[in-house]
Structure 1
Amino acid sequence: MPARIYQRPKSAMQSGKARVDEWVLEFEQTEARRPDPLMGWTGSGDTQAQVKLTFPDKDAAKAYAEKHGIPARVHVTPPKTLKLQAYADNFR
């Protein structure tokens, strides 16, 4: 059952950097999601897709995956670049 390891992104509603340094191991879906005929919710019989494990760093997540025989892909977050400008630049 394949998994992916990624660094938790900052939420759009979040101004600070809490929990941004955590790494997440998340199992990929092996079964297609289907709508429930009565309620209209989507779901599947794949319970592993509900599992999210957090780790303090990437190496710990990779070590856990190797120890338990989980094939995992690491998705590295690209570095963020800031475009610094002055407020006066809006009126040029």
Structure 2
Amino acid sequence: MTAAGRASNAAEPRTYALPRVDLFHRRRLKPEHFAGIGAFRRLRTVRLAFNGLEDLPPDFDTLPDLETVDLDRNRFPREVRDRITAAHPSARMDFGS
């Protein structure tokens, strides 16, 4: 039972309302640092430029409302770039160079 007196459903995944993630120029980030990012269902902007990333976890592809994704200066192979772009067709993507 929740504080409001409603029955809680333990099977429902918890979601968070974080609208933006800015983690650029960290250089030592790895895909596993983003495990669970799919829980941030209201995420709109992600800036992960200049990190040397080669992949992102699969739950990144499940974020429904991304508008801007800055992945410039990472090391994504073509198949990863294609996967991310296909998962977020309406988002503005920047893979840079």
Return the index of the structure with the highest Cα Rg. Answer: 1
Q: TM-score range by the shorter chain?
A: under 0.3
TM-score, scaled to structure 2: 0.22
More strand by share: 1
